[in-house]
Amino acid sequence: MTVSAGRRGWFRRAAAAVALAVALPLGITVVGGGATASAAFDPAARDFWVDSEMGPIKSRIWHAHDGNTNRVVYLLDGLRAQDDLNGWEIETNVGGFLAAHNINVVMPVGGQSSFYSDWVAPSNTNGQKVTYKWETFLTKNLPNALRNELGFSSTRNGVIGISMGGSAALTLAAYYPKQFNYAGSLSGYLNVSAPGMRSAIRLAMLDAGRYNVDAMWGPPWSGAWIRNDPMEFAPRLRDNNTRVWVSAGSGVPAPGGWSRHTPTDVFNTGTGAGLEVLSVSTSRAFQVKMSLLGGNNVTYNFEPRGIHTWRYWEKQIHDLAGDLSNTIG
């Protein structure tokens, strides 16, 4: 099989997966691991409020156990991000796990359906009053406040996201290489301009808060869509020599529940499997693109089993912790 034939095959599978996700009524709601369980508040973390163009935004902070302030990672949530806690805290124990590995952990809270991007306008489908400015917040407001108030380094940080946050993590690293020298996409969608992807994202955002995708990056043919597509900015990640971790499951469920708090059920297992097939298809396409570019700065961890669940993403943090630790700071 030639490389071009392989890419065509992955794109066909991606389009099929989009159709599957859209066809399943709750499939869209599972994007980002819809955190519907009771919040798992961790008393070891602290609230950290920062003013922004969107108003005050809360983050949750875990301090590195050895007291260092130069090793920092941001963990980004999925499409259905809540306003009380980040899904990583609700559904996993990775905040304390990474802090024990002497890494300071920053979990921004909120940003439902935002793709952690600077939008062009407020959504006109749900009464949103302010324009999302998450990219500005994560690259200016938050790191400046962390540096000034906590002494955290604002250079050579890591950024890791799941689902919606996966492509956002790569975007932030591509355009802010001094701030982020490590980026991780866990079950991310790494070709947002692929056939069917814009329609799938539109439906997903309408389901997750009734957000209008046109308010995010404008019309589908606009430059903002291209700017935020990992397939398009891949040369930046190569040229920046960003350390990148890309993972996705096969769509085949592994034994066990969704997470520490959410049990497995047959319906969500089916939708989670379809979404993960979409992720692995676009992530494999990204792998081909980076290979064609000669990019040797990416670790690919494609699990033989795994669907769109927090339990899978929690395992990935355990797998990449050493790589992250050896890169940031």
Question: What are the catalytic residues?
Answer: 163, 276, 308
Residue 132, C-beta contacts closer than 8 angstroms, at least 6 positions apart: 54, 111, 114, 117, 118, 119, 122, 216
Q: How far is 187 from 175, CA to CA, in rounded Å?
A: 21
Residue 317 token pair: 């943090």
3-class SS at 62?
Answer: strand
Type of residue at 253: P
Q: How far is 118 from 309, CA to CA, in rounded Å?
A: 27
Name which of 7, 8, 9, 14 is nearest 248 in CA terms. Answer: 14
Residue 27 token pair: 């499939």
**The pairing of beta strand 243-248 with beta strand 298-302:** parallel
3-class SS at 25?
Answer: coil
297 contacts 241 by C-beta, under 8 angstroms: yes
Determine how many CB atoms are found less than 10 A away from the CB of residue 268: 21
3-class SS at 239?
Answer: helix
Cβ-count burial of 158 within 10 angstroms (0-12 exposed, 13-18 middle, 19+ buried)?
buried
Based on its alpha-carbon atoms, the radius of gyration of the chain, rounded to whole angstroms, reads 18
